[in-house]
Amino acid sequence: MVLCKIPWSVMINQINEDFGFYQKALALRQQRQEVLATNIANSDTPNYKARDIDFASALSQAMDEPRRLPDTQLTLTSARHIPAQAHSTGPADELYRVPTQPSLDGNTVDMNVERVQFADNAMRYQSDLSVLSQRIKTLMLAMQR
């Protein structure tokens, strides 16, 4: 039996990267759930345009961007200082959904589509949580040995 020693720093970095992926994925799923719920809530609002998030591209973009510090605003201690702020990237861009059958009042919400997307996103959110929970349990078991 051959044991391989992996430095703790490498292992911690890998765990941090793995959890970072799940953190971003769950945040995007939660944001998408809010957008879909807003669509459903506005199904009878005249001229309301249904929106959605392209989850795959938003997650890809979130994983590619460098880690950022939280929003920061500098305190001015002199009138000659230049005001400055640092902003982190915001939530994923919301796109308008192209209606299959627009209504006469200009509302583009199709309740059948919204319900299916809402249920699908909720199922995927729960699935992501289950996978993350299992990974944590596996790590805990490995650390106990």
23-50 per-position pLDDT tens digit: 999 999 999 999 999 999 999 999 999 9
**Domain-embedded: residue 133:** yes
Does residue 63 belong to any structural domain of this protein?
Answer: no
Rounded CA gap, 48 and 40, in Å?
11
In the Cβ-directed half-sphere of 104, how many Cα atoms lie within 13 Å? 0
Would you say residue 114 lies in a domain?
yes
Q: Looking at the domain assignment, is residue 62 inside a domain? A: no
Is 83 domain-assigned? Answer: no
Predicted confidence at residue 15, as pLDDT, reads 78
**Domain residue limits at 111:** 17-54+93-145
Residue 19's pLDDT band (cuts 50, 70, 90): confident
Residue pair 69/110 in contact (Cβ under 8 Å)? The answer is no
80-94 tens-digit pLDDT: 877 766 655 556 778
What one-character-per-residue DSSP string does 1-66 give?
-------HHHHHHHHHHHHHHHHHHHHHHHHHHHHHHHHHHTTTSTT---EE--HHHHHHHHHHSP
Average pLDDT of the chain, as a whole number: 83
Residue 48 located in a structural domain: yes
Report the residue count for the chain: 145
How many domains does the structure of the chain reveal? Answer: 1
